[in-house]
């Protein structure tokens, strides 16, 4: 008699002691695979649970809905590393040039997380068309822009160069630049080498220095 597949691969609810520490990671890994294979719209929590070897209830134990799961995935795989690069900008001594380090970190993120980035761009396109998806997208972007603005203000305080431009607007421009370069690098890496983002950041900083000096000259 053939073995029962349910007995060969039992599915768990994710709440037992041996699974509590791993269920969330298993769900996120399964979600990324499902999103990659089927796209955001085509992915269901049932399919994520099945791929993770858990019950659907286990997914709901950790995540409110598909949107919540998606945002958690993006936060852990993209936003946390990006925030680490922002802290590098904010905390580095004045004699350390941060742009090349940030550029290298962003290039590594593009190489290691292409599936998450592809999903992010797909979700942007959907949020642009669907008002129900838009608020969460806008909220995430707002949080990133604010974090970047704080990093820029801290960096200019460290270097002693007055920031004569809105930190929020500058943060928006830099994050848009990063997203555009990431898109290019994923399709045509030769057109967006690792150092490109850092070179543009250097040009922006040079312009800010020039603006600060011209506005303080008598």
Q: Domain ranges in the chain? A: 1-63, 65-216
pLDDT digits (tens, 9 = 90+) for 59-111: 999 899 998 999 999 999 999 999 999 999 999 999 999 999 999 999 999 99
Give domain 65-216's CATH architecture.
Answer: Orthogonal Bundle (1.10)
- pTM recorded for the entire structure: 0.82
User: DSSP per residue over 81-117, as a string?
Assistant: HHHHHHHHHHHS-TTS--HHHHHHHHHHHHHH-HHHH
User: Any idea which fold 1-63 has?
Assistant: Arc Repressor Mutant, subunit A (1.10.10)
pLDDT digits (tens, 9 = 90+) for 16-35: 434 455 889 999 999 999 99
Strand partners, 216: none
């Amino acid at each position: 008699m053939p073995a029962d597949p349910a007995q060969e691969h039992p599915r768990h609810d994710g709440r037992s002691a041996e699974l509590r520490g791993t269920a969330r990671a298993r769900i996120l890994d399964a979600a990324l695979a499902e999103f990659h294979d089927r796209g955001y719209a085509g992915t269901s929590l049932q399919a994520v649970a099945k791929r993770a070897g858990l019950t659907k209830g286990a997914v709901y134990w950790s995540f409110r809905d598909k949107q919540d799961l998606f945002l958690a995935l993006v936060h852990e795989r993209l936003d946390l590393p990006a925030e680490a690069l922002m802290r590098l900008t904010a905390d580095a001594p004045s004699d350390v040039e941060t742009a090349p380090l940030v550029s290298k970190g962003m290039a590594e993120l593009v190489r290691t997380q292409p599936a998450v980035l592809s999903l992010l761009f797909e979700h942007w396109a959907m949020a642009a068309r669907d008002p129900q998806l838009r608020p969460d997208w806008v909220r995430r972007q707002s949080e990133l822009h604010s974090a970047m603005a704080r990093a820029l203000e801290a960096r200019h305080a460290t270097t002693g160069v007055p920031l004569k431009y809105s930190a929020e607007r500058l943060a928006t421009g830099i994050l848009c630049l990063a997203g555009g370069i990431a898109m290019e690098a994923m399709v045509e890496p030769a057109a967006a080498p690792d150092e490109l983002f850092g070179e543009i950041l250097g040009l922006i900083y040079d312009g800010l220095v020039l603006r600060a000096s011209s506005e303080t000259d008598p």
